[in-house]
């Protein structure tokens, strides 16, 4: 997952939800946080790529 943040001081808020969604620290998806420069009310933008193993 790539995470763009307008304000990196919001990282703790993102982490709280991330840990709730993926409680097992050893099984959390990889994530990269980058600085974003958005217009309007956008604070965070995320891109997810998933691979299904069947």
pLDDT at 51: 85
pTM for the structure as a whole: 0.69
End-to-end CA distance of the chain: 21
Per-residue pLDDT of the chain (54 residues; tens, 9 = 90+): 899 999 888 888 889 999 999 999 998 988 999 999 999 999 999 998 888 888
What pLDDT score was predicted for residue 53? 86
Taking a C-beta distance cutoff of 8 angstroms, is the pair 33, 3 a contact? yes
């Amino acid at each position: 997952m790539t995470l763009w943040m307008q304000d990196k001081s919001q990282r703790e808020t993102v982490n709280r939800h991330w840990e709730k969604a993926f409680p097992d620290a050893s099984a959390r998806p990889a994530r990269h946080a980058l600085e974003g420069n958005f217009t309007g009310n956008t604070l965070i933008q995320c891109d997810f790529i998933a691979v299904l193993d069947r």
